[in-house]
Amino acid sequence: MTSSTQAPSARTTLKRNAVRAQYNTEVLREVLASQQICTVAYVQEGEPRQIATLYFCDDTHMYLHGNRQSALLRHMSQGGEVCISVMLVDGIVVARSGFHCSMNYRSVTLFGKGEGVTGPAHRKALDDFVAVLIPGHEKVVREPTSQELAATAVARIPLHEMSAKIRAGDPIDDEGDLDSEVWAGEIPLRKTALTPIASANLRADIILPQYIEHLQVKG
Ligand SMILES: Cc1cc2nc3c(=O)[nH]c(=O)nc-3n(C[C@H](O)[C@H](O)[C@H](O)COP(=O)(O)OP(=O)(O)OC[C@H]3O[C@@H](n4cnc5c(N)ncnc54)[C@H](O)[C@@H]3O)c2cc1C
């Protein structure tokens, strides 16, 4: 995907704090590539639903997977509309007033119609989910069985109608509060992987692979 800035649609136009809006494809892609979990909202029989799930993106689409009986996967595979939210929390913003305490974040909202993924693209997507979650592991896991392949549905949505909103930096305090005694600034937050814990039934001769020891966790 080359870098370009698309005009927002009516529903992706930020109204609150519009200076934080981003519609540049490179910026949107960078946010999407930095996270691996999203929430997907859709309407089922007139009622709102929202589901948290894993995703990955290629140049043109976001992919989700799950049990073939999943209501969300069925909805998307039948071309249903969804609204997907992705967010990264970068810091806690400590202001001199409660009103201006906030968070630094990068978030994306994506609208569109789902589409079922079948055939070789379905199989490739299942490998890609492992590669995104634990890069390198997709090369060593056993081949999926036909039952496993049949049980797992994959759906996707085009990376087309989307917005990003980004807050960074200092609290935005009122002029009159700037000489206050209260500490102000940012507490940066980062998600890191802790020391891996071997499975209780792991064979004793299997050592921790480098790709797990040095896993860079997203989000
Ligand atoms: C970690 C985090 C914490 C937040 N905390 C607060 C809070 O405490 N209070 C608060 O008011 N807001 C908070 N926000 C911002 C919040 O997500 C909304 O942007 C804001 O509340 C405005 O909502 P609205 O319905 O008026 O949006 P509008 O500006 O009316 O939304 C119109 C369109 O703009 C786009 N848009 C809006 N918000 C976002 C977004 N966050 N990311 C990508 N696209 C977006 C969507 O396409 C949306 O359909 C937070 C965001 C994050 C990620």
- The pLDDT of residue 14: 96
Query: Could you give the 3-state DSSP secondary structure of residue 141?
Result: coil
50-107 confidence digits (pLDDT tens): 999 999 999 999 999 999 999 999 999 999 999 999 999 999 999 999 999 999 999 9
CB 166 near ligand 1, within 6 Å: no
The span from the CA of 134 to the CA of 172, in Å, is: 39
Residue spans per domain, the chain:
18-191
- Taking the CA of residue 107 as reference, the ligand 1 atom at the shortest distance is 42
Is residue 1 predicted with pLDDT exceeding 60?
no
CB 157 near ligand 1, within 6 Å: no
Is residue 2 predicted with pLDDT exceeding 70?
no
- The pLDDT of residue 4: 84
Q: Ligand 1 centroid vs 94 CA: distance in angstroms?
A: 19
Tell me the HSE value of 76 on the side-chain side, using a 13 A CA sphere: 32
In a mutational test of the pocket of ligand 1, which residue from 163, 166, 191 has the highest number of ligand atoms less than 8 Å from its CB?
Answer: 163
On whether the CB atoms of residues 118 and 111 are closer than 8 A, the answer is no
The fold of the 18-191 domain, in CATH, is Pnp Oxidase; Chain A (2.30.110)
- The pLDDT of residue 151: 97
